[in-house]
């Protein structure tokens, strides 16, 4: 049922949002040199690496690490990128990843391929068995502000509590958090 819901919502959202996606893509291209999309190597279900699209919010020469690990993150983020990150609009291309089955609408956020500490703790907690999500329990409870052990604790809590009703609650809370820019540190 969850997969059917993911396909239905991702298809409907892409069909409705394509003008917005096109407009954002053109704005990203005009804002800074490089492609509109950044295809990030992420850790998926069962720790399999996949390529996840996001609207590019950083310069093309940015090191391939989590933003919080950059010495001066503000130096790398494009002017439009700040807005896209604060509103979570940079995440919209991930609907494609939901449609093709690499992601779900709700689940633990996919770790970068080189976030070995996060991947190890999630594997230990059994969270690696879940399809990663565009949003998740940890995402709406702190996002960038959470230390890795707390993210994993929340991801494990989601693993135990997951249901369609809980997913719908998380999706609704995501819209509220995104509108406020809550939990975005860069």
Alpha-carbon distance values, 174 to 87, 113, 129, 138, 183 (Å): 11, 24, 23, 11, 11
Q: What percent of the chain has pLDDT above 70? A: 95
Mean pLDDT of 139-144: 86
Model confidence pTM above 0.85: yes
- For 170-178, what is the mean pLDDT? 87
Question: Which pLDDT score, from 0 to 100, does residue 70 have?
Answer: 75
Distance from C-alpha of 112 to C-alpha of 52, rounded to nearest angstrom: 10
Q: Which has the minimum average pLDDT: 12-26, 75-89, 145-159?
A: 75-89
Q: Give the residue carrying structure tokens 């590019």.
A: 56
């Amino acid at each position: 049922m969850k997969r059917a819901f993911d396909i239905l919502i991702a298809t409907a959202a892409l069909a409705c949002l394509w003008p917005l996606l096109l407009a954002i893509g053109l704005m990203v291209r005009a804002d800074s040199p490089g492609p509109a999309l950044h295809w990030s190597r992420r850790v998926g279900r069962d720790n399999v690496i996949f390529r996840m699209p996001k609207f590019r919010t950083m310069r093309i020469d940015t090191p391939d690490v989590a933003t919080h690990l950059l010495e001066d993150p503000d130096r790398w983020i494009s002017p439009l990128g700040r807005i896209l990150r604060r509103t979570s609009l940079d995440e919209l291309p991930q609907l494609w990843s939901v449609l093709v089955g690499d992601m779900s609408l709700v689940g633990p956020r996919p770790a970068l391929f080189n976030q070995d500490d996060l991947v190890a703790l999630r594997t230990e907690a059994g969270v690696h068995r879940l399809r990663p999500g565009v949003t998740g329990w940890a995402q709406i409870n702190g996002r960038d502000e959470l230390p890795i052990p707390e993210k994993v604790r929340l991801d494990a809590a989601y693993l135990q509590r997951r249901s369609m009703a809980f997913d719908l609650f998380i999706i609704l809370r995501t819209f509220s958090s995104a509108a406020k820019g809550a939990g975005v540190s860069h």
